[in-house]
Amino acid sequence: MAPLTWTKVPLPPKRGIAYFVTDRRFNWKENRNTMRKTIGLAVIVLLALGVASAWAQNGRLVITPFAGYRTSGSFGVRADVLLPISGVRLADGFAYGASLGFRLKPSITLEAQWAHADPMARSISDIPGGPDEDLFKVYEDQFHANVLFYFGHNEMLRPFFITGLGLTAFNPRADGVGSETRFSWSMGLGVEKMFNDKVGLRASAKWFTTYINESTGWMVDWWGDIWLIPVSQYMPRWDFTAGLIYRF
């Protein structure tokens, strides 16, 4: 097996950025089956919630609008693409959304969640200490199927662990840069404070990561040969949110 060589791709700036953001040549076929399975799981959860809501009683159906802060995230340029930047960073900022849940039992809730943010995408300079430059806004929508596990016996104040998976859709607000959908998953901790049987407050800190592309990186073997090998890139971030709880 011969080592791969550096490949220069002469693309104009905007198309070049779309190239390593979307990475259609390397990602789509490998990621397609995973995306189908994720969509299938999300659809099953949503259908289950819809059926459950038809006979929900005694506060089992839960609606939670929320808002809060999302941290920044970044990923690097593929090593086989020459561009005058080293990566892309999505800025931190405001995020909001809503969830529809069904209390399967007092200790477990199934939930379908949508979250939205519109961060600025910024180029990361390939010069150490160099300034980042604004590229374009990105509309980011996350659709996750979650499971919440509650602890303790106090029904009015309960901590919980949340985990989920689904899809994150990126829609750049720039000409010539297409939208993309990627697999993502999350986990976190939170607490719910109920003021009565119907209304309460939820606060949570949730870590989530999004698959970006199958990038490449340099590896030096035992004999000093340099190889270009595939490396999966993920973009991890945090959401810190709070919202009202409505039980029906």
How do residues 113-123 score in pLDDT, each as one tens digit? 999 999 999 88
- Does residue 227 lie within any of the structural domains? yes
Residues 6+ apart with CB under 8 A from 218: 79, 226, 227, 228, 229
Residue 98 has pLDDT above 60, yes or no: yes
- Please count the structural domains in the chain: 1
- Does residue 7 lie within any of the structural domains? no
Tell me whether residue 199 is exposed, middle or buried, using C-beta atoms within 10 angstroms of its C-beta: 0 to 12, 13 to 18, 19 or more. Answer: exposed
Confidence class of residue 5 from pLDDT cuts 50, 70 and 90?
Answer: very low
Confidence class of residue 241 from pLDDT cuts 50, 70 and 90?
Answer: very high
Higher-confidence residue: 56 or 176?
A: 176
Predicted local confidence at residue 209, as pLDDT: 95
Q: What is the C-alpha separation between 204 and 188, in angstroms, rounded?
A: 7
Work out the number of other CB atoms within 10 angstroms of the CB of residue 183.
18
Q: Report the Cα–Cα distance between both ends of the chain, in Å, rounded.
A: 63
Residue 102 has pLDDT above 80, yes or no: yes
165 touches 172 (CB < 8 A): no
* pTM of the entire predicted model: 0.74
Question: Percent helix, strand and coil across the chain, each rounded to 5?
Answer: 15, 55, 25
- Does residue 198 lie within any of the structural domains? yes
Supply φ then ψ for residue 42, to 5 degrees. Answer: -65, -40
Domain that holds residue 217: 13-247
- Does residue 125 lie within any of the structural domains? yes
Interval 176-210: pLDDT, tens: 778 888 999 999 999 999 999 899 999 999 999 99
162 touches 146 (CB < 8 A): yes
- Does residue 8 lie within any of the structural domains? no
Q: Where are the alpha helices (DSSP H) in the chain?
A: 13-22, 24-54
Residue 34 has pLDDT above 60, yes or no: no
- Does residue 4 lie within any of the structural domains? no
CA atoms within 13 A on the CB side of 42: 21
Q: What is the C-alpha separation between 219 and 216, in angstroms, rounded?
A: 10
Predicted local confidence at residue 39, as pLDDT: 59
- Does residue 2 lie within any of the structural domains? no
Tell me whether residue 139 is exposed, middle or buried, using C-beta atoms within 10 angstroms of its C-beta: 0 to 12, 13 to 18, 19 or more. Answer: middle
| R_g (Cα) of the chain, nearest Å | 21
Share of the chain above pLDDT 70, in %: 69
Predicted local confidence at residue 175, as pLDDT: 81
Q: CA 193, 198, 204 angle in degrees (round to 5)? A: 35
Residue 112 has pLDDT above 70, yes or no: yes
| Three-state secondary-structure class, residue 115 | strand
- Does residue 130 lie within any of the structural domains? yes
Confidence class of residue 57 from pLDDT cuts 50, 70 and 90?
Answer: low
Interval 122-151: pLDDT, tens: 888 776 666 678 889 999 999 999 999 999
Domain CATH for 58: 2.40.160.20
Predicted local confidence at residue 201, as pLDDT: 97
**Averaged pLDDT of the chain:** 78
Supply φ then ψ for residue 165, to 5 degrees. Answer: -150, 165
